[in-house]
Amino acid sequence: MIQWFPGHMNKAKREVSEKLKFIDIVFELVDARLPFSSRNPLLKQIIQNKPQVMILNKADLADSKETQKWLNYYQAQGITAVALNAKTDSAKKKILAAAEDALKAKRERDAKRGIKPRAIRAMVIGIPNVGKSTLLNRLVGKKIAQTGNKPGVTKGQQWLKVGNQLELLDTPGILWPKFEDAEVAKKLAVTGAIKDQLLHLDDLALYTLEFLTAFYPQALVERYGFTATELQLPSVEQLLFITAKRGFKDDYLRGAELLLNELRNGKLGALTFDHVEDLV
């Protein structure tokens, strides 16, 4: 079990709860490679019954077939869901359409009561490193939020305007106090949501190799020249093979770091670590 709940996250959780009364809808951002594991179970308590849009970000790094399964899964749960890549997609158009869909019933009730439509007030929420700052910059159309390929970049809360249609409340990434499920913790660490200093890189690399061998062996074949022989090796020997192949001799920690960096940067192809079938 991993415990990690910095003071600023505790404070953020409290502030999010307090700001909820000012917003119409919650945009929950998750990593499309981890559409279940990158959800914070505390958020359900925090957002209560507010309308919600689930945004599967980094869809370019995820297996598109698996992403579609997850979109179907969340839609079946009554949650409006959309997949995108905040860096390149027409994110604004997709998210506004999803928000209008999620708020359709509320808009109709307001119209009957004579309440004129105004800008949608939304809260953007999610765990660290799911791409919130990148998305906010894309929506606002200028670099207004700090970005970084590491958790914990956003520290405070701020309101951001998106034309006349949308007002966004940014929030810091909030991780839950402890990970009861070691599998979830490993998946989050592999994709960069938990700081590398909190776990052993070699353990994460071995976990990654076991996952890739089981679900995406072709990635190992294409990136590192694995043959049928290497695919049958234990993960420790696979890591040593990659280490030697990249010229690091027997420095397996460098090999582990290389593997994780290449996975996070999409060099191993489109991968999804969560499978809908595991929930059923």
Is 227 in the same domain as 154? no
Mean pLDDT by 10 residues, the chain (280 residues): 52 73 90 92 77 94 97 93 88 89 86 86 85 85 57 55 84 62 88 79 95 98 97 98 94 95 95 91
What are the tokens at 248? Answer: 């690091």
Is 38 in the same domain as 97? yes
Is 163 in the same domain as 209? no
In a domain, 195, yes or no: no
Number of structural domains, the chain?
2
In a domain, 144, yes or no: yes
- Other beta carbons less than 10 A from residue 248's beta carbon: 17
In a domain, 189, yes or no: no
pLDDT at 261: 95
Is 169 in the same domain as 204? no
In a domain, 193, yes or no: no
- Last-in-domain residue among 178, 211, 230: 178
- Other beta carbons less than 10 A from residue 4's beta carbon: 15
Domain extent at residue 82: 2-178
Is 108 in the same domain as 228? no
- Last-in-domain residue among 124, 144, 178: 178
Is 140 in the same domain as 12? yes
In a domain, 183, yes or no: no
CATH classification of the domain holding 143? 3.40.50.300
- Distance from C-alpha of 20 to C-alpha of 143, rounded to nearest angstrom: 25
The one-letter code for the residue type at 60 is D
In a domain, 141, yes or no: yes
Q: Which residues of 169-179 are buried (b: 16+ CB within 10 A; e: fewer)?
A: bbbbbbbbeeb
What are the tokens at 1? Answer: 């079990």
CATH classification of the domain holding 205? 1.10.1580
pLDDT at 11: 66
Phi then psi for 167, rounded to 5 degrees?
A: -120, 125
Is 220 in the same domain as 169? no
- Last-in-domain residue among 178, 211, 238: 178
In a domain, 278, yes or no: no
Is 23 in the same domain as 151? yes
Is 106 in the same domain as 53? yes
Is 112 in the same domain as 207? no
In a domain, 190, yes or no: no
- Tell how far CA 254 is from the center of its chain: 26
